[in-house]
Amino acid sequence: MKYYNSIIDTIGNTPLVKLNKVTKGIRGTILAKVEYFNPGQSVKDRIAIRMLEDAEKAGVIRPGGTIIEGTSGNTGFGLALAAIGKGYKCIFTMADKQSKEKIDILRAVGAEVVVCPTNVAPEDPRSYYSVAKRLNQEIPNSFYPNQYDNLSNTAAHYDSTGPEIWRDTDGKITHFASGVGTGGTICGTAKFLKEQNPDVVTIGLDTYGSVFKKYKETGIFDEGEIYPYLTEGIGEDILPKNVDFSMIDHFVKVTDKDAAIMARRLSREEGLFIGWSCGTAVHGALEWAKDNLKDDDVMVILLPDHGTRYLAKIYNDVWMKDHGFLESREFATARDIIHSKNGSAKLTTVSRSATVAEAIRTLNQRGISQIPVTDEQDHIVGSLTDSTILSKLIEDPAIKDVPVSEVMDKPFKFVGLDNTVDVLSSLIDRENKALLVRDETEQVHIITQADLLAAMTT
């Protein structure tokens, strides 16, 4: 039998997946290291178990103890999984900008969550850093992992993530890109890769509002660079000990909006349902790659977590529009379209008992390309389009004398009056050439592609 003794034994050995659509026009091979295959659906599972086991070896925490950590959510979840397996309690402090999903997930696995204000200095007693430290001092037999300064963070990636990437690329990796938060992921991985090949280039992805990029380039910790931003789990207003700037060759900054849009693109175009900072990593890495990658290069971009943490944020259209990340353009509705077409006009239909030749005459007389089919009670039971009739006539000219019921397609879809043009257009395809809508008086109207085009240009 093949099985694992506990869920924490499944951490690591996540796959590399080639990016195909978002990389168009970029040379080289671009691979994503998809960390949501870890049991806690994030890269932080790796450091959680390493920090805890190192603390156990050092006697910092004893059986029945409490783990206390400041987290953006993912490290907390990894620690919670490890705590379940080892019998510890958990208390996590989080900034109030973190998604509700992250808070709910932590509570679902038995952790206590203390939410702290975002827009305060790290040394402020209300910050999630300070609250975690205070609780650690107050609660006996507690362990404060401090992922920012605990070098077990970097060691976890030196011992696992780096070797996995080297192995799975057969040593052909030339570039490694990762977001920089605590710094352990990029620096531990880069240290291993550079030991195998000093020419491996590392690209750190930062966010506007974080201090990393300027500090790397100037050596200046500029507090003027610090301001609130929305992207979670990336960038910092401190310099964690796990950030070894000698391991990071270049920094690229990415806006909240660009990161969110890229995350949604990866979900829709690559089938990778990933988190917000993953969008930061890919957008920034590809921007750098456009001008620097060659045909034989192999770039690995680390994607740290899963999209379920962000359902109410970047995967919510209303939230995206409210924050100016999606165009909030006003589209015409089905109601507007039927009113502009003279809403009182009676819908043209053809009976299912009519011949195909009679249906063709109706289409020609009315100058239309599609028509609903009705039964004896005037219920809509099917549809006909000129393209369908033409293809059938080419196959068998005698088809013109058979009843419409023998050649009709399924009925056109009904839609609501308040559906907008962008939604309506997504419902028209090769199998559904038009849409039907009932107005306030229950009269049925038809909406065609031509109607949608007219609505978009008026």
Please, which residues have CB within 8 angstroms of residue 325's CB and are 6 or more apart in sequence? 256, 257, 260, 261, 314
CB 438 within 8 A of CB 444: yes
The confidence score (pLDDT) of residue 327 equals 63
Quick one: tokens of 142? 């507690």
| Ramachandran bin of 54, using left for φ above 0, alpha for ψ from -120 to 50, beta for the remaining angles | alpha
CB 337 within 8 A of CB 416: no
CB 415 within 8 A of CB 437: yes
Strand order in the sheet with 444-448: 413-415, 434-438, 444-448
Q: Where are the domains of the chain?
A: 7-42+151-322, 44-143, 334-456
Helix (H, G, I), strand (E, B) or coil at 437: strand
**Which residues on neighbouring strands pair with residue 116, listed in sequence order?**
95
Q: State yes or no: is 213 an active-site residue.
A: no
Q: Could you say which of 3.40.50.2300, 3.40.50.720, 3.10.580.10, 3.90.780.10 is the CATH number of the domain covering 334-456? A: 3.10.580.10
Fold of 44-143: Rossmann fold (3.40.50)
- In terms of C-beta density within 10 A (0-12 exposed, 13-18 middle, 19 or more buried), how is residue 80 classed? buried
Architecture of the domain whose range is 7-42+151-322: 3-Layer(aba) Sandwich (3.40)
Helix (H, G, I), strand (E, B) or coil at 380: strand
Long-range Cβ contact pairs of 125-129 (< 8 A, separation 24 or more): 128/70, 128/93, 128/94, 128/95, 129/70, 129/93, 129/238
Nearest-5° angle of CA 102, CA 12, CA 49? 65
CB 234 within 8 A of CB 208: no
Alpha-carbon span 12 to 3, nearest angstrom:
15
Quick one: tokens of 430? 């090769």
Q: Could you give the dihedral angle defined by the CA atoms of residues 74, 77, 79 and 80, in that order, rounded to the nearest 10 degrees? A: 170
DSSP alpha helices (H): ranges in 11-66?
Answer: 44-57
Q: Which residue has the tokens 């999209």?
A: 307
Do 7-42+151-322 and 44-143 fold alike per CATH?
A: yes
Long-range Cβ contact pairs of 282-285 (< 8 A, separation 24 or more): 282/19, 282/22, 282/32, 283/254, 283/258, 283/259, 284/177, 284/203, 284/205, 284/206, 284/252, 284/253, 284/254, 285/30, 285/177, 285/203, 285/205, 285/252
- From 33, 44, 253, 433, the catalytic residue: 44
**pLDDT per position in the chain (458 positions), as tens?**
999 988 889 999 999 999 999 999 999 999 999 999 999 999 999 999 999 999 999 999 999 999 999 887 889 999 999 998 889 999 999 988 787 888 888 999 999 999 998 878 888 999 998 999 999 999 999 999 999 999 999 999 999 999 999 999 999 999 999 999 999 999 999 999 999 999 999 999 999 899 999 999 999 998 888 877 889 889 998 999 999 999 999 999 999 999 999 999 999 999 999 999 999 999 999 999 999 999 999 999 999 999 998 998 999 988 888 888 886 566 788 888 988 876 556 899 999 999 999 999 999 998 899 999 999 988 899 999 998 899 899 999 999 999 999 999 989 988 878 777 877 887 787 777 899 988 878 789 999 988 888 887 76
Alpha-carbon span 347 to 354, nearest angstrom:
17
The confidence score (pLDDT) of residue 378 equals 87
